[in-house]
Chain A
Amino acid sequence: MQAVATTQPPSTGRRRALRAFLANPAGVLAVLFLLFVAVLSLAAPLIYPEDPLSMVARPLLWPGQNAAYPLGTDSLGRDVAAGIVWGGRVSLLVGIVAMLLGVAIGLAIGATAGYFGGRVDQVLVKIVEIFQTPPSFVLLVVLVAVAQPSLTTVVLAIGGVTWPSTARLVRAEFRSLRSKDFVMAARSLGYGHARIILREILPNALPPLIVSSSVMVATAILMESALSFLGLSDPNVVSWGSMIGAGREMLRTAWYLSAVPGLAIVATVLALNALGDALNDALNPRLSGPR
């Protein structure tokens, strides 16, 4: 932020954004809920030390039927609540790591294309276009099928299909920022490209990137759940999507087996999207419409 210091001390900008964010009840609620899910996920081995795939009670207990199993049990007598908590670990982990991977690739390609422009830009834009043309979920299915399904390949594949949108965003930001006065100043001081990209332009391009990362975690969680619902993810790991897929067999009689993990996905993804909206309003005050 040192570059904008001439017009606006960085702390005021950041403090203003924080104040705007805290004034938005939806954003605060979303953060609190996500913290709750994160704590639950981290504490999973303490709350449910047993393997969530182990059979613990009478099968097909409905939620509320037995106080010891508040969310019921499935057809094999596995505790649904334990599955939700352990599945949340997988969903969050996949969502966050895949987002980081997608952002890293997108940032590297987008920054290079936007900063250098010219021939480099043309080639990179073409590559982005090629990766954006096939439907991303179909490409994702192909990638996971080619590599053997495991959590690692699922994360790599999701990162591999989501980076182009970040690359486009970063490229647009870098293109508009590279001719600004503070970049000229940095150049005239003899700073190298790497330093200008990372220390001068990147901090100014961060706000839209932060907003999109929050939405990307949501997208990654939805993609992982769809993959594991189809049975194309790691078969040895419980995740919300695989629970829905397993519950689908008993949809007519025990629909809660599909409903409960789905609600967990909806709540988490909704919180991430609401967080994205709130961040957008706080970080780009001029762009947000009347509220």
Chain B
Amino acid sequence: MTSFQRILATLRRNAVAAVPTILAIVVLNFFLLRLAPGDAADVLAGESGAATEELMRQLRARFGLDLPVLIQLKNYLLGLAQGSLGFSPRYNMPVTDLILQRLPVTVALMASALVVAFVVGVTAGYVMALCAGRWPDRVLSVVALLLYSLPGFWIGLMLIVAFSVKLGWLPSGGSETIASGLTGVDLLLDRLRHLVLPATTLALFYVAIYARLTRASVLEVSELDFVRTARAKGVGGAGLALRHILRNALIPVTTMAGIHVGGVLGGAVVVETVFTWPGMGRLAFEAVQRRDFAVLLGVLFLSSIVVIVVNMLVDLLQAWLDPRIEAS
């Protein structure tokens, strides 16, 4: 089987397996949120002060909330097939537009956090493995365990105290300076300055995970026969370290990186709230507070889709990296 065929077969198998999962998640989420007390009409009525029975009925009819649950589910699924996640009464706009508006800043935050975590974590883990048992390994192991135990929102607040309140180096919230009139490079730099603290906060936990994983994986690979063979052939130094050990050691680490996408999305809810980062996580939090179920349902659905897609990509990457993984 050529590597192209292998990748195609993996893709097909994954796509087929994902369909029932996605359907089950949608149906489950839908019924879960139906169980919630109070609907969007209640919220709107509550905000406008007193509302008559008549007005409530009109609101419910407008959003289709007065239909039988199964019909509502059918409408939701039909809409989904056309790319619509429903209408948010609270924001007065389609949920898909609302989420797509918020998605880029969340993806920017997640991607920078994961890249930082991966680079720093793998480097630290590799150093730990090289010095296994000696003091750099011990010190880094303790640091990793500490990072692993930090609540994200708390370390975020502490970073704000240190770097924005005390030192005044970095902004404490938002994704860019509002109405700054900046353009080009200045705007980019302004955005990067806003990104530093939230991305660091989100990355810390995963730095620890990748460091520990890389350490274990490198130690395991270093003892394998092909490394000994390479050494016997006279390969040493950086060539052995990068081409033979690290490359093979990274296979389990990439698997975990895929698995963590869901975790990073969950972490983003908290981190975005701390840093008033206008992304999807904050949207989810606002949706809960406003009892805007259409939005909450959309965020939950879309984040599940992101997780499924990323896991597929990781599978493909591995089918390409490692011919031993059979597309059975």
In chain B, what residue has the closest Cβ to A291?
Answer: B133
Query: In the complex, what's the smallest C-beta–C-beta distance from A159 to chain B, in angstroms?
Result: 16
Interchain CB contact under 8 A, A141 and B37? no
Interchain CB contact under 8 A, B25 and A137? no
In chain A, what residue has the closest Cβ to B152?
Answer: A226
In chain A, what residue has the closest Cβ to B148?
Answer: A273
Interchain CB contact under 8 A, B151 and A138? no
Interchain CB contact under 8 A, A218 and B149? yes
In chain A, what residue has the closest Cβ to B264?
Answer: A135
Interchain CB contact under 8 A, B151 and A135? no
Inter-chain contacts of A277 with B (CB < 8 A): 145
Query: In the complex, what's the smallest C-beta–C-beta distance from A254 to chain B, in angstroms?
Result: 10
Inter-chain contacts of A108 with B (CB < 8 A): none
Query: In the complex, what's the smallest C-beta–C-beta distance from A63 to chain B, in angstroms?
Result: 15
Binary per-residue interface labels of chain B (151-170) against chain A in the complex, 1 for a CB within 8 Å, 0 otherwise: 11111011011000100000
Contacting residue for A126 out of B20, B29, B37, B291, CB 8 A = B20
With contact pairs A130-B21, A289-B132 given, residues A141 and B285 touching in the complex (Cβ less than 8 Å)? yes
Query: In the complex, what's the smallest C-beta–C-beta distance from A285 to chain B, in angstroms?
Result: 15
In chain A, what residue has the closest Cβ to B218?
Answer: A289
How many angstroms between the C-alpha atoms of A136 and B308 in the bound complex? 14
Interchain CB contact under 8 A, B270 and A226? yes
Contacting residue for B216 out of A136, A218, A289, CB 8 A = A289
B266 at the interface (CB under 8 A from A): yes
Interchain CB contact under 8 A, B157 and A248? yes
Interchain CB contact under 8 A, B35 and A138? no
With contact pairs A135-B263, A290-B219 given, residues A266 and B304 touching in the complex (Cβ less than 8 Å)? no
Inter-chain contacts of B150 with A (CB < 8 A): 266, 269
Query: In the complex, what's the smallest C-beta–C-beta distance from B258 to chain A, in angstroms?
Result: 12
Interchain CB contact under 8 A, B154 and A244? yes
A133 at the interface (CB under 8 A from B): yes
Inter-chain contacts of B24 with A (CB < 8 A): 130
A139 at the interface (CB under 8 A from B): yes
Binary per-residue interface labels of chain A (266-291) against chain B in the complex, 1 for a CB within 8 Å, 0 otherwise: 10011011100100000000000111
Interchain CB contact under 8 A, A133 and B267? no
How many angstroms between the C-alpha atoms of A100 and B77 in the bound complex? 36
Interchain CB contact under 8 A, A133 and B21? yes
Interchain CB contact under 8 A, B161 and A255? yes
Interchain CB contact under 8 A, B151 and A226? yes
How many angstroms between the C-alpha atoms of A258 and B157 in the bound complex? 8
A146 at the interface (CB under 8 A from B): yes
The number of inter-chain residue pairs (CB within 8 angstroms) is: 139
With contact pairs A146-B36, A251-B165, A269-B149 given, residues A138 and B300 touching in the complex (Cβ less than 8 Å)? yes
Interchain CB contact under 8 A, B149 and A146? no
Query: In the complex, what's the smallest C-beta–C-beta distance from A94 to chain B, in angstroms?
Result: 14
Query: In the complex, what's the smallest C-beta–C-beta distance from A166 to chain B, in angstroms?
Result: 16
Interchain CB contact under 8 A, B300 and A274? no
How many angstroms between the C-alpha atoms of A62 and B204 in the bound complex? 29
Inter-chain contacts of A198 with B (CB < 8 A): none
For chain B, the count of residues having a C-beta within 8 Å of the partner chain is 50
How many angstroms between the C-alpha atoms of A138 and B269 in the bound complex? 7
A-facing residues in B3-36 (Cβ within 8 Å): 20-21, 24-25, 28-29, 32-33, 35-36
Inter-chain contacts of A139 with B (CB < 8 A): 300
B194 at the interface (CB under 8 A from A): no
Interchain CB contact under 8 A, B300 and A265? no
How many angstroms between the C-alpha atoms of A229 and B271 in the bound complex? 11
Interchain CB contact under 8 A, B300 and A134? yes
- Most interface-central of A141, A218, A244, A272 (chain B CB within 10 A): A141
Interchain CB contact under 8 A, B36 and A262? no
Interchain CB contact under 8 A, A251 and B161? yes
Inter-chain contacts of A255 with B (CB < 8 A): 157-158, 161, 165
Interchain CB contact under 8 A, A142 and B151? no
How many angstroms between the C-alpha atoms of A248 and B158 in the bound complex? 10
Query: In the complex, what's the smallest C-beta–C-beta distance from A130 to chain B, in angstroms?
Result: 5
Binary per-residue interface labels of chain A (188-202) against chain B in the complex, 1 for a CB within 8 Å, 0 otherwise: 000000000000000
Binary per-residue interface labels of chain B (187-206) against chain A in the complex, 1 for a CB within 8 Å, 0 otherwise: 00000000000000000000
Interchain CB contact under 8 A, A266 and B262? no
With contact pairs A130-B24, A270-B145 given, residues A229 and B303 touching in the complex (Cβ less than 8 Å)? no
Interchain CB contact under 8 A, A141 and B284? yes
Interchain CB contact under 8 A, B161 and A270? no
Interchain CB contact under 8 A, B165 and A142? no
Interchain CB contact under 8 A, B288 and A141? yes
Inter-chain contacts of A225 with B (CB < 8 A): 151, 153-154
A50 at the interface (CB under 8 A from B): no
Q: Other CB < 8 Å A-B pairs besides A138-B284, A290-B132, 12 of them?
A: A130-B24, A134-B29, A137-B265, A137-B269, A138-B269, A140-B266, A145-B296, A229-B270, A230-B153, A244-B157, A262-B151, A273-B149
Taking Cβ atoms with an 8 Å cutoff, the residues of B that contact A are 20-21, 24-25, 28-29, 32-33, 35-37, 132-133, 145-146, 148-155, 157-158, 160-161, 165, 215-216, 219, 262-263, 265-267, 269-270, 273, 284-285, 288, 291, 296, 299-300, 303-304, 307-308
Nearest 4 CB-CB pairs, A to B? A137-B266, A262-B154, A135-B266, A270-B149
Could you show 10 A-B contacts with beta carbons less than 8 Å apart? A134-B300, A134-B303, A136-B263, A142-B288, A146-B33, A229-B153, A230-B153, A266-B149, A270-B145, A291-B133
Taking Cβ atoms with an 8 Å cutoff, the residues of A that contact B are 126, 129-130, 132-143, 145-148, 218, 222, 225-226, 229-230, 232, 241, 244, 248, 251-252, 255, 258-259, 262, 265-266, 269-270, 272-274, 277, 289-291
